[in-house]
Structure 1
Amino acid sequence: MSILKVSIRQVKAARALLGWSQADLAKASDISEPTIKRLEAGDGDLGGRPDTIQKIVDALALAGAEFFDGEYSSTGGPGVRLRDRHP
């Protein structure tokens, strides 16, 4: 399984769109809050162990966040949006 590469800014933006705190993300991803804080303190791509990254991305995606890279962005850069909940 390939892990989606996401940036720390995308994770923070996804949390903001969902109205989640770091504690909310920690609970939803089963990752400790200090780990979430440490990972979000940096810049660039989300680091950490592959399984940690996957748990974070999966939790945000399950809640409705959709990550995309520059290929699908009108601005040419990576981003995040909420999935359309009305088909």
Structure 2
Amino acid sequence: MITSAQMRAARALLGIDQKTLAAQAGVSVPTVQRMEASDGNVRGVVSSLVRVIEALEALGVELIGEQAPSQGTGRGVRLKSPPIHETSTTN
């Protein structure tokens, strides 16, 4: 499964916008927008999600799952652990 943060990061690494990703995947821009607005794992029609993942991979991005080793040899970015969300308290 791909997260919305991975999807946005993949686009950033490729230097493409949502419109370009949608065209490459054969889905609509609103579909990409909804996927990227998901909280955590991307939600959507499975066939559309598969098309987006395949498009990202065809464009040169390796999507790495949780606890999975990287199979690629190119440069990239990976979170070491989930981001910590600090909460602020007011006195």
Shorter-chain TM-score range: 0.7 to 0.9
Establish whether residue 64 from structure 1 lines up as the match of residue 60 from structure 2: yes
Structure 2 length-normalised TM: 0.73
Q: Which has the higher helix share?
A: 1
Q: Tell me how far 1:42 sits from its aligned partner.
A: 2.2
Where do 4+ consecutive residues of structure 1 move more than 6 Å?
Answer: none
Identity among equivalent positions (%) equals: 33
- Partner Cα distance (1:70, 1:51) in 2: 22
Contact 1:23/1:33 (<8 A) preserved? yes
Root-mean-square deviation over aligned CA pairs: 1.6
Within the candidate set 43, 47, 57, 2:43 is matched to: 47
Partner residue in 2 for 1:75: 80
Partner residue in 2 for 1:35: 31
Q: Which has the higher strand share?
A: 1
- Consecutive unaligned residues of structure 1, counting only runs of 5 or more, are 78-87
- Consecutive unaligned residues of structure 2, counting only runs of 5 or more, are 70-77, 83-91
Q: Tell me how far 1:49 sits from its aligned partner.
A: 1.1
Give the aligned residue type for 2:80.
T
Q: Tell me how far 1:70 sits from its aligned partner.
A: 2.9
Q: If you compute each CA radius of gyration, which structure gives the higher value, 1 or 2?
A: 2
Structure 1 length-normalised TM: 0.76
